[in-house]
Structure 1
Amino acid sequence: MTKDPTKISPVGRGLLDRRSFLSQTSGALGSLGLVSLLAQEKALAESKSGLSSDKTPIRPNIPVGNPYAPRPPHFKPAATQVLIIFCAGAVSHIDTFDYKPDLFKFHGTKPPGLPEVTFEGPSGNIHRPFWDFSPRGESGKMISDLLPHLGGLADDMCFFHGMKTSSSAHPPAENFMNTGFTFNGFPSIGAWATYALGSDNKDLPAFVAISDPRGTPRQGKNNWGNGFLPASFQGTEISGANPPPNIYTPESIGAGSNDRMIAELARMNERHMEAYPDDTELAARVASYELAGRMQMSVPEVTNIDNEPEYILEEYGINSPNKVKSAYAKNCLLARRLIEKGVRVVHLFNGASADNGINNWDSHSDLESTHGMQAEIMDQPTAAMITDMKRRGLLDNTLVVWCTEFGRAPFLQANGTGRDHNPGAFTTFMMGAGVKKGYSHGRSDELGFETVENMTEVYDFNATILHLLGLDHERLSYYYNGLERRLTNVHGHVVRDVLNT
């Protein structure tokens, strides 16, 4: 039923009165004037500082049909590539990089203030580090004798000793470090970086994940997944010992025949995309298949280590009788070669999903044996890879990140020989492009149990990685399910104290 136009509401009648209209709209008119003045002030401030406080999302310009095309960062980056080394299972910071003399002082006692029960049950007595610590390099940084090869790089390392995470369980903490969320289904940091920046190498994936020779970590492919980002940005899993299957052209198909078939498929795909120009999923699939075709040439070359000199094989530990160490060393050499070829993000994993420190760093019992076994596999190859990259000048443009999901407690598990989970304090480090050398940021308490100075949350850590790649973590977002999603959610700040400029 149509309303009678002659019947006007009280508010409407008031607006018809001149005085009432002016009184009710004066605030709005004043606000408009204020907005104009503030805009002028903001423009003036930006022109003086050269910086913008605008936090509106910056959408990367992704060409249809080529999601891997290189794209400019938000600002000049310190690093153009990143290599992330993730040690699954939770490395004990107080037995490796975070020297705590008071652990020797209180060894065998149970001082007040520590919890009676932790993640897996009652807590035992304080236990000194299972290995001695020694001063390393010119900086004199105290590093455990468990990691002598990495210890030799102390003067190049930028430590984060005040790390804190949001979960004390392995699967969500692993997710949190590698995707920014404790739940499954969110994009990995490598996916975010390649979504924003694309790749400078058209013949190799923009983002490569290298699993441990013993298998994937607990959360498997979620660690390098694309989440809700387009599928083009998920990591491609490659291993030094096991290159991608079915990548070689069958012997029954001649080179000329294969080339003609590929050319004809390209023409068919081009015609189809002309008919459906808005089908971005089709364009992404075509781009993926074309990349797979080019990988038939590029991947066998980059994974073939036969042309590496003998001293490199020895330096990395590839000739080790320890088969797992040898296979992981091949992964480290593959990581260096991928960085050398211009791959944007390489995510190297040390440790698989099995519990009890057998295939990863989880050490609820017999920590001395299990951590010793993992260090034998990880230390020499990782240090050799970083040294090799430095020698080749790759660290000038590459950020190297070493991390784990949380730390371990300063006390033993009740009457045991291992350490329980510790989300309150752990250690990570960065090296290479953009970060200070021989520097330590943050501090845990005297027993290494809680962070007490310059805490770095995982959000901050990831925001800093993106910043070094020239990306503003507050503006790198993707609209999904009604929200602007970010790697750092609604948190995080760049840890500027670690930057070398």
Structure 2
Amino acid sequence: MCDHHDTLRSDNKDLQQVEKMMDRRAFLTKTSLGFGALALGSLLNADKAWSAVKNNVKPDLGMFSRNDLGLPHHVPKAKRAIYLFQSGGPSQIELFDYKPKLKGLFGQELPDSVRKGQRLTGMSADQTSLPIAPSIIDFKQYGESRAWVSSAMPYLSEVVDDICFIKSMQTDAINHDPAITFFQTGSQQPGRPSIGSWISYGLGSDNENLPTFITLISKNGGGQPLYARLWGNGFLPTEHQGVQFRSGKDPVLYLTDPENYDGHNRRNMLDYLGKLNDVQNSFYGDPEINARMSQYEMAFRMQTSIPEVTDMSDEPEYIFDMYGKDSRDSGTYAANCLLGRKLLEKGVKFVQLYHQGWDQHIGCPKGILGNARKTDQANAALIKDLKQRGMFEDTLLIWGGEFGRTVYSQGKLTATDYGRDHHPKAFTMFMAGAGVKPGITYGETDDFSYNVIKDPVHTHDFQATLLHLFGIDHERLTYKHQGRRFRLTDVHGHIVKDILS
């Protein structure tokens, strides 16, 4: 029998190759150079990095670099982030960019000297007139920073001294899908990795039982559709894609055991599957094999961790009161803000929260006020909640959409009603928390909120600054794909240093 086996092995070159590669893999696994040791080293070094930051010590970055990526490139200010993406393009004129001079220009034609030949969407390009529509929503200044906020955001007005408003945002895309894709992936064309995927790839996880990157979509938004590629991994390994949590019984699809299966032998099944994949990987060397196993293992651990993190029964009543009545309704914006805080607290590094419904081509004042009622209280509560838990100083909070809105009315203009078209050349976002200067307003637009006249911030500048706060040099975090090294900011982007603390 043994002689027969030896004869088969000597005649079968493929079998010899598999055994040779498996011997090599066994050696790596049993030594300190094994992949498990590398992963453990990464986690331990991350703790050293944050210990140095907390104690205001300048560390030797080499002691906590992540594998061969050499990350972080510098001491990070942000340990985690929550990005409150307002899909549809919120009107800066109704919310933050106060323009009192417009009141005397009601119905007048937008001057050519202001428009400067900028392109229009197909929805207003055929209008014979572009009449100026002043906002009918009142504004006041709040806090020591004297920030302008409209009456649509009464709760946010309470925390303006914690916020950095950027009123000079600019982007390249004028329609929703390419504009959202551009903000989330750095390219208007689909297929690139999302921001959360780049951060997952560069920095890894702080909790092995939960994904590094999680996406939430509020059910009380509506409007323009969202696509899974917005939180996709693109050409990065698949374990870096965002995992979408849904409201209802099953937050993550396909995680629950099938009917009549108690899951008692799932651990054995995964162990055997792992052995088979080890053989496959040893022979073919395809990194996606290990990535797929990593996802299987994560799914196994998530069967226990997901019910725990999505259970709101341990939250006190005052927390629900702070976030608002919707926070008791799973899947609403307020409930997702609260869930986002819990995920960050459990070690999730990047939470992407989408709220749709900001696309007010008609009925702008009514639509803005309605969406603000759904989101404003939760936005402010999240900032207060992070502060009371001691998480604000190392959590980055971002609020904003894919572009702004025009000063002229799309369609019929009346004293109380108007619509606004897409406007990519001047709009407002805000950031708060880790490494961001609190209580400042950065950038300025003209009297029509149509052009940036001071300190422009392009989409790629925003992305570069976000990565910088995580300790990442946006020019050095690259991935080779199809013979070219790609990065989130493509070949653009500058860090907006004046907003950094």
Please indicate the TM-score interval, normalised by the length of the shorter structure. Answer: 0.7 to 0.9
Cα offsets for 1:63-86 (capped at 9, x unmatched): 9xxxxxxx8412110101111110
Q: Deviations over 1:299-342 (max 9, x none)?
A: 01111112211221222124579x79x72211111101000001
- Correspondence for 1:337 among 338, 342, 347: 342
Distance 1:434 1:133, change over 3 A: same
Aligned to 1:247: 255
CA contact (8 A) 1:210 1:346 kept: yes
* Cross-structure match for 1:473: 474
Residue in 1 that maps onto 2:48: none
Residue in 2 aligned with 1:426?
427
Q: CA deviation at 1:409?
A: 1.0
**8 Å Cα contact 1:175-1:219 kept in structure 2:** no
| Contact 1:189–1:487 (CA under 8 A) maintained in structure 2 | yes
Is this contact kept in 1: 2:94–2:365, CA < 8 A?
no
> Which of 316, 325, 334 is the matching residue for 2:323?
316
Gaps of 5+ in 1: 1-49, 51-58, 64-70, 352-359
**Residue equivalent to 1:299:** 306
The residue number in structure 2 matching 1:482 is 483
2:351 aligned partner, one-letter code: V
Query: Which region of structure 1 is more displaced relative to structure 2, 211-220 or 77-86?
Result: 211-220
Asked whether the 8 Å contact 2:137–2:150 carries over to 1, the reply is: yes
Partner of 1:41: none
Against the structure 1 CA distance between its residues 217 and 73, is the aligned structure 2 distance closer, same or farther, given a 3 Å change threshold? farther
Pair 1:118–1:283, CA change in 2 (3 A): closer
Shift of the alpha carbon at 1:454?
Answer: 0.8
Hey, what does 2:180 align to over in structure 1?
174
What corresponds to 1:109 in structure 2?
108
Provide the rounded CA distance (Å) in 2 between the counterparts of 1:413 and 1:216.
18
For 1:196 and 1:101, the matched residues in 2 are separated by 45
> Where in structure 1 do 4 or more consecutive aligned residues deviate above 6 Å?
none
1:125–1:414 contact (8 Å) kept in structure 2: no
- After TM superposition, the structure 1 stretch with the greater mean CA deviation from structure 2, 425-434 or 71-80, is 71-80
Aligned partner of 1:18 in structure 2 is none
Query: What SS does the aligned partner of 1:410 have?
Result: strand
Return the offset for 1:385: 1.9
Q: Does 2:221 correspond to 1:222?
A: no
Per-residue deviation, 1:263: 3.4
Matched residue, 2:67:
61
Verify the 8 A CA contact 2:411 2:419 in the aligned structure 1.
Answer: no
Q: Within 1, Cα distance between the matches of 2:120 and 2:222? A: 29
SS in 2 for 1:85: strand
Q: How does 1:288-437 map to 2 (within 5 A)?
A: 288-319=295-326, 327-351=332-356, 360-416=357-413, 417-437=418-438
Alignment length, in residue pairs? 424
Matches within 5 A, 1:123-134: 123-134=129-140
In structure 2, the gaps of 5 or more residues are 1-57, 59-64
Say if 1:94 and 1:100, in contact at 8 Å, map to a contact too: yes
CA 188–275 in structure 1, closer or farther in 2 if over 3 Å, else same: closer
Which secondary structure state, in structure 2, belongs to the residue aligned with residue 126 of structure 1? coil
Distance 2:407 2:346 in 1: 42
Aligned-pair distance for 1:343? 0.3
2:3 corresponding residue in structure 1: none
| Identity percentage of aligned residues | 40
- Is 1:184 the equivalent of 2:190? yes
- After TM superposition, give the deviation of residue 217 of structure 1 in Å: 5.3
**Aligned equivalents of 1:271 and 1:216: distance in 2?**
46
Contact kept in structure 1, 2:78 and 2:394, CA below 8 Å: yes
Deviation at 1:427, TM superposition (A): 0.5
State the 1:366 CA deviation. 0.8
1:431-474, Cα deviation, whole Å (9 max, x unpaired):
00001001111111111101111110000000000000000000
Q: Secondary structure at the match of 1:347?
A: strand
The answer to which of 273-282 and 374-383 deviates more is 273-282
Conservation of the 8 A alpha-carbon contact between 1:463 and 1:492 = yes
Between stretches 271-280 and 87-96, larger displacement belongs to 271-280
Note if contact 2:140-2:150 (Cα within 8 Å) is conserved in structure 1.
Answer: yes
Matched residue SS, 1:161: strand
Q: Counterpart in 2 of 1:450?
A: 451
One-letter amino acid of the structure 1 residue matched with residue 83 of structure 2: I
Q: 1:272, 1:369 → 2: CA distance?
A: 56
CA distance in 2, matches of 1:245, 1:439: 42
Structure 2 vs 1, CA of residues 383 and 240 (structure 1 numbering), >3 Å: closer, same or farther? farther
What TM-score results when the alignment is normalised by the length of structure 1? 0.80
Kept in 1, the 8 Å contact 2:277–2:290? The answer is no
Give the match for residue 56 of structure 1: none
Partner of 2:141: 135
Q: 1:407 to 1:272 in 2, by over 3 A?
A: closer
Distance 2:366 2:77 in 1: 40
Deviation at 1:111? Answer: 5.1
Q: Is the 8 A contact 1:240 1:303 kept in 2?
A: no
**What one-letter code is carried by the residue in structure 1 that aligns with 2:251?**
P
CA spacing shift, 1:217–1:209, aligned 2, 3 Å: farther
Instruction: Give the match's secondary structure for 1:348.
Output: strand
Change (3 A) 1:261 1:229: closer
What is the distance in 2 between the residues matched to 1:384 and 1:449?
31
Which residue in 2 is equivalent to 1:78?
A: 77
Counterpart residue identity of residue 500, structure 2: L
Do the aligned partners of 1:240 and 1:334 also contact (CA within 8 Å) in 2? Answer: no
**228-237 or 383-392: which moved more?**
383-392
**Partner in structure 1 of residue 291 of structure 2:** 284
How far apart are the structure 2 equivalents of 1:162 and 1:192?
25
Q: 1:219–1:252: structure 2 CA closer, same or farther, 3 Å change rule?
A: closer
